Structure 1
Amino acid sequence: MTDPLEWETLATETAYTCPGFDVTHEDVRLPDGTESDFDYLSEPPAVVILPFTPDGDVVLIEEWRQAVKRVNRGLPAGTMEPEDDDPAAAAHRELEEETGHEAARVAHLTTVEPVNGIANAVHHYFVAYDCHPASEQNLDFNESIRVVIESYDDLLAAIESGEIRDGRAVLGTLYYERFA
């Protein structure tokens, strides 16, 4: 049985492709019978990691974000690769690639659809425990990342003051603070 709010998809095509995402164009029929179109970003699932050192500090990244023209401080995160069957394994891989740190273990925190009005993105959040330097960073060609270690209290203060505005970092940290 379909929901009376459901839109009927009449046709789907990829309007634009670039590294990281596609723009999908769909012709749709709305519940009242009106035909229209709808475009959205289509991207693979991603993992976001809140990594703790054995001392309780957090491993953060500072990364240039071209869309907002500034360095962004936040949590390590990355797209799941086609060969990633398990989001937890992807979290381990992304943590090591972006920070050079390895986690003794990761635990699933939550899964969200961060912007489901404009994208089909799914983010799997993990907490990583006992993180320690294990290798050099292995960055993608379009990543400019600096690793920063700071206290968890400093992370919370930076979120509270608005210094950290990265939505993934804010959501993951506050979810951890409230529900973990």
Structure 2
Amino acid sequence: MTDDDPVDPAAGTDGADPLAWETLDSTTDYDCPGFTVRLDEVRLPDGTETGFHSVENGASVIVLPFTDDGEVVLVEEWRQAVERVNRGLPAGSVEGDEPLAEAARRELAEETGYEAAAVEFMIAHEPSNGLLDATYHYFVAHGCEPTAEQDLDDNESIRVTTASFDELRDAALGGGMRDGRSALGVLQYALRTE
């Protein structure tokens, strides 16, 4: 793991694959804070022309933040889509061409008030690439201390808490951590370190 921004392994594909669809037109069906619903008119490999909806959500960072005493800093946040409080890792969107490591530091500070002595890139995943264009970039943060003020977005309701990594790993394995992006980050880290 390094502090440098990762290279996207999917970048540079030229569409020459015989499975590739040809995009004939692309329009926005719906736009709101957080995501855009796009309609592409496409030609399939067999020549069929059809429409395909997808969600543009862009790049995000997810941070697994450790304090010096080994606790993990977590956020408890209301999630309207599932109508409950969600416990998970600090996360948020990358702003423009912001370097990913800077985005990880910014999101950690904004959501929790904690700042990291160091951040390291762990891995990137596309959580649902049949529907979303999103890429989740996972970072591990070390030496986290509560030195900043929370700076929440208008639509964020967040409470900060901590837990042991063992508790989080067990929750992710046992279904007690319902937030998929957080569970994936916890399990990826567990596989790399245990």
TM-score (norm. length: structure 1):
0.97
Deviations along 1:146-165, whole A, 9 cap, x unmatched?
A: 00111111111222221111
Residue matched to 1:133? 146
Q: Does 2:55 correspond to 1:41?
A: yes
Please list every run of 5 or more consecutive structure 1 residues that lacks an aligned counterpart in the other structure. none
Deviations along 1:57-83, whole A, 9 cap, x unmatched?
A: 100110000001110000000001125
Q: Which amino acid aligns with 2:149?
A: E
For residues 16-165 of structure 1, the aligned pairs below 5 Å read 16-82=30-96, 84=98, 86-165=99-178
Moved over 6 A (4+): none
Residue matched to 1:6? 20
- Which stretch shifts more, 60-69 or 157-166? 157-166
RMSD, matched Cα: 1.0
Residue matched to 2:9? none
SS of equivalent to 1:88: helix
Report the Cα distance in structure 1 between the residues aligned to 2:144 and 2:173, rounded to whole angstroms.
25
Q: Which amino acid aligns with 1:16?
A: Y
Report the Cα distance in structure 2 between the residues aligned to 1:158 and 1:170, rounded to whole angstroms.
8
1:173 to 186, 191, 194: 186
Report the Cα distance in structure 2 between the residues aligned to 1:29 and 1:103, rounded to whole angstroms.
47
Please list every run of 5 or more consecutive structure 2 residues that lacks an aligned counterpart in the other structure. 1-13
Q: Which amino acid aligns with 2:122?
A: L
SS of equivalent to 1:118: coil
Report the Cα distance in structure 1 between the residues aligned to 2:187 and 2:173, rounded to whole angstroms.
10
SS of equivalent to 1:52: strand
Say if 1:35 and 1:83 are closer, same or farther in 2 by CA, change over 3 A. closer
TM-score (norm. length: structure 2):
0.90
Deviations along 1:83-123, whole A, 9 cap, x unmatched?
A: 51x10000000000000000000000001111100010011
Conserved 8 A contact 2:56-2:133: yes
Q: Which amino acid aligns with 1:123?
A: Y
Deviations along 1:123-149, whole A, 9 cap, x unmatched?
A: 110000010001221000000000011
